[in-house]
Amino acid sequence: MHRLWKEFSKGLWKELPPFRVLLGLCPTLAVTSSAENGLGMGLAVVFVLTLSNLIVSLLRKMIPPKVRIACFILIAASLVVTVELLMQAYVYPLYQTLGIFVPLIVVNCLILGRAEAFASKNPVLPSVADALGMGLGFTLSLTFLGGIRELLGNGTVFGVPMTWDSFQPLSIMVQAPGAFLALGLILAAMNAFSNWYSRRHEETPPRALEAITSCSSLGAEPMVVLNGDDANGNGNGANGR
């Protein structure tokens, strides 16, 4: 039980995606123009991630190591098609807003990253706990980012007006530049917070965000040569090889 809790809780702070472990940037930037979209995307990812970790973990002894990436992609793709059909049936407006990013969940590095780094090496229960934790962390982060951008760019959160009358919305925040700016500022704020926290508790500061590789190194050994400084800090659990 203790171990399950550990696997679950690491996704909520220590390896919180996408703020601590930069995985799945495209949906993070693209769909967080409002809190509601962020939440919807997060829930779709939780569904795919949990089932994909479950299936990968069940099949982990049968999947030949050489074609494992292809198998993971195939499993994820089947689940994404399921999500697409479910969303078309029950939440069609959300499906239309998220648009192309629903099918693109299949190349969300969070899913392949967890399959590769965790589910393919661990039994079923920890894998599911890991997926639920990571998924929940991702959902909360996306909702948070979406909420901030919606508040600044539109003056609302979840469609409810939150600001005073004379507030002038910064419409840039709900457009593409705002996504990059908001994410960059949040990452800097998290860096500042963990520096402060570790100074206060006299611990060694956690790994800097620079040490965190993006998913582009997934399943590709040559990347280790490419940006060696990234690869050295690769023990971040994202692809902890």
In the complex, which residues of this chain contact other proteins (CB under 8 A)? 22-26, 28-30, 69-70, 73-74, 77-78, 80-81, 84-85, 100, 103-104, 106-109, 112, 172, 175-181, 183-185, 187-189, 191-192, 195, 208-210, 212-220, 222-223, 225-227, 230
- Rounded Cα distance between 115 and 109, Å, is 10
- Rounded Cα distance between 53 and 118, Å, is 8
Is the four-CA dihedral 33, 35, 41, 42 of positive or negative sign?
A: positive
Nearer to other proteins, 112 or 129 (CB): 112
Shortest distance in whole angstroms from residue 20 CB to other proteins: 11
Nearer to other proteins, 59 or 187 (CB): 187
Strand 156-157 and strand 160-161: pairing? antiparallel
Interacting residues of 232 by C-beta distance below 8 A, sequence separation 6+? 211
Look at residue 148 and give its three-state secondary structure. helix
Nearer to other proteins, 167 or 193 (CB): 193
Shortest distance in whole angstroms from residue 155 CB to other proteins: 21
Nearer to other proteins, 150 or 230 (CB): 230
Nearer to other proteins, 58 or 70 (CB): 70
Shortest distance in whole angstroms from residue 122 CB to other proteins: 22
Tokens of 44: 């779709």
Torsion of CA 139, 75, 15, 237, to 10 degrees: -170
Nearer to other proteins, 58 or 220 (CB): 220
Shortest distance in whole angstroms from residue 215 CB to other proteins: 5
C-alpha 40: how far from its chain's center? Answer: 13
Shortest distance in whole angstroms from residue 186 CB to other proteins: 8
Give the H/E segment covering residue 191.
helix 176-200
Terminal Cα distance for the chain, rounded: 26
Shortest distance in whole angstroms from residue 152 CB to other proteins: 13
